[in-house]
Chains A and B, each alone.
Chain A
Amino acid sequence: MKYTLAVLVENKPGVLTHISGLISRRAFNIESIAAGYTEEPDMTRITIVVEAGDEYELEQVVNQLSKLIDVIKIIDLTGQDRIHRELALIKVKAAPGDRAEIINIVEIFRAHIVDVNKETMIIELIGEEVKIDAMCELLKDYGIKEIVRTGKVAICRGAKAAKED
């Protein structure tokens, strides 16, 4: 099963090395990892999607990560009422005859075209993983040249912040 963890860490050099080093050393199955600044200047938030066989395996991931000195807090967002999003940039072949159809797809998915030239377009799409997968599937027919995805970020609904728990 897949679990989504929010990992709050000190915004210090070397933190990501410590985290990725631990993940590879303990052979944890990480599906995606996305890091960025937060509401606090000295704190980074990393969203990790991990594949674990059972709760014991997940417990090991959480406990081992918690041991890292620069990890402030880990929140398991799995099963909580949350919003999760990913951003994808897709460079797709857009021959003049296909353009109208592609624009149609972009509209249906509420995506945006952010760059166009004679041969290709770049499409920006924000959404849940499945939505991005679905759009990529449709665009395949025209020829996808490049895909870049951020990995999932997630946040809980409601008034409380994750760090407050």
Chain B
Amino acid sequence: MKITGAQALIKCLELENVEVVFGYPGGSVLTLYDALYESKFPHILPRHEQGAVHAADGYARATGKVGVCIATSGPGATNLITGIATAYMDSISLVAITGQVIVPLIGRDSFQEADIKGITTPITKHNFLIKDVNDLPRVMKEAFYIARTGRPGPVLVDIAKDVFAAGVDFEYPQKITLRGYDPIHEGEEQIIGDVYKELLQAKRPLFFIGGGVNLSDTSETIRKIVAHTGIPVVSSLMGLGCIADDDPYNFGMIGMHGTYAGNMSTTETDLLVGFGVRFDDRVTGLVDEFAAKAKIIHFDIDPAEVNKNVRSHIRVIGNLQWSLNELLNQVINRTKQEWKEQFAPWREKMNAWKLEKPLGYDHNSDFIMPQQVIEKVSQITKGEAIIVTDVGQHQMWTAQFYRFQQPRSFLTSGGLGTMGFGLPAALGAKVGKPEKPVICICGDGGFMMNCQELMTVADLNIPIKIIILNNQCLGMVAQWQRTFYQRHYSHSSLKTKADFVKLSEAMGVPACRLENKKEMFQVIEKALSADGPFLIEIRIPSEEDVLPMVPAGAGLDKMIIGG
């Protein structure tokens, strides 16, 4: 019996175990929405397509499943772009479904036509345009397979409106034949032996972990290797949480706002082993001076990442689930004792750096310090909450001061640095992980970029907690202007007549404002323990800097420490 393309699409979603889609209707997807109505497929309606795609992204980051979003043709589809690019830069598995004008109208500048396949080509792992309903089941199968396997990423499927109405004998393919796509799982085994030999030779080794460890769910294996060998660990922004913050071998984040100990050890190490990292310029600083004394070993699933930014001496290509397990099997050939003795002097040195210049701030200030707020939130939640940030100073303070214990618990736009990501991503994360507390930390600037999603949060009673660290300016921009542009605060002030508490309440999310330092602990605690969603605006000083800071293009040891 024939079913419609729209019904077929929903069948595909069911067969791919999709629990929920985030979407926004419009002309070219009306037939699909009618099928959603009939089937009662779980659907969340944000108030902007950008909200839909970031929510699907947050859902994917928190759960490890594929996030799915839907938009109509033309403006609906183009509203997805920032979100797709955000997911692409951080290798997040998404399937974005867009409607397209009917086949005979394609290519004629028809009403609400946009070449979304062309537009998204540089920001998707792959994309498709379906013009024949018979292709639909196969394409959907391929789209989900491509999005979730290998190095994950967003896949866009553009579907002409008439395809949704056309009839099809539904058969979901069992097998996938993609001659050009064969994601490598296992690499060459003997290469792990080479890595092992390098570890035996090393005096000052350093593990550098990134988003790939989060994405491959291998944090446990890394923790075992570290516990057995005592090799110190540093992390990129995207790798935070993979090793517990209070692990004695953890030396925090490296890069532009990395810790002193982390950046110094990266400069001094003689063997840097990167796991699922891409040596982004925010991490390396001046690339020629990055880990200049070290041999570099690079573990990654994507062969194109190796030697892209930094030259590696050994490459280990394959899924980290394979390579880290192999490495673990090898390192246990030696005793803990033997390993730890080998690296004891190095760790002592690193500990000395850590003690010499720990992360800090002015504890005696009369103002509410943002770092202290993050520390409080961390204490209250024991480092176990899912923390979603926006982009700016608050994001870096969160990275520095929240004591992450778990992988997939720090959700942030690392690669693209997308302001407006926080609120919708937090919403999506909570939908995916209802049992976990989800806290969104925003600046007063980025919060406004998708603040319409407060309505979604309120209307669906999604119990996330939102903290706005209000410094009344575009803090990160202002910091650069202060540091490099003689305090010319060009258009970075956000002094406003608007009232965040009223705004939030007007949209249906109860809120309060915190201005008095004395009430801080109590107010935050109360806000976080509210039953439903809650927003808290916290007034912080305008001129606080994120430190340390490596000026763009300088070596990592050229940190501005301040204090």
Contact = CB atoms under 8 A, between A and B. Distances in A.
User: Is the A/B pair a real complex?
Assistant: yes
A19 to B, nearest CB: 10
Interface string A41-65: 0000000000000001001100110
B146 A64 contact: no
Given A14-B129, A17-B121, A69-B126, A60 B304 contact: yes
Interface in B230-269: none
Interface in B265-321: 302-304, 306-308, 311
B180 A72 contact: yes
Contacts of A63: 303-304, 306
Nearest to A18: B121
B118 interface: yes
A11 B307 CA distance: 31
The secondary structure that dominates the A interface is helix
B179 A25 contact: no
A59 B307 contact: yes
Interface residues of A, number: 22
B180 A25 contact: no
B307 A56 contact: yes
Interface size class of B (residues with CB under 8 A): 20 to 34
Contact of B122 (A9, A21, A59, A66): A21
Contact of B180 (A14, A56, A59, A68): A68
A69 B156 CA distance: 13
A71 B129 CA distance: 18
A163 B178 CA distance: 16
Interface string B146-187: 100000000000000000000000000000001111000000
B302 A67 contact: yes
A69 B118 contact: no
B307 A69 contact: no
Contacts of A67: 302, 304
Contacts of B118: 17
B48 interface: no
Contacts, number: 43
A10 B306 CA distance: 26
A21 B126 CA distance: 12
Contacts of B304: 60, 63-64, 66-67
A142 to B, nearest CB: 43
A76 B126 CA distance: 24
A68 B181 CA distance: 8
A69 B145 CA distance: 12
A162 interface: no
Contacts of A60: 304, 307-308
Interface string B508-544: 0000000000000000000000000000000000000
A69 B180 contact: yes
Given A10-B180, A69-B178, A72-B179, A25 B308 contact: no
A135 interface: no
A9, A22, A67, A70 interface centre (most CB from chain B within 10 Å)? A67
Nearest to A22: B122
Contacts of A56: 307, 311
A7 to B, nearest CB: 10
A68 B178 CA distance: 11
A58 B181 CA distance: 21
Contacts of B376: none
A69 B129 contact: no
Contacts of A69: 125-126, 146, 178, 180-181
A66 B311 CA distance: 20
A18 B122 CA distance: 8
Given A17-B117, A60-B307, A67-B304, 14 more contacts: A9-B180, A14-B117, A18-B121, A25-B122, A60-B304, A60-B308, A63-B303, A63-B304, A66-B304, A69-B125, A69-B180, A71-B180, A72-B179, A72-B180
12 contacts: A10-B180, A14-B121, A14-B127, A56-B307, A56-B311, A60-B304, A60-B308, A66-B304, A69-B180, A69-B181, A72-B179, A72-B180
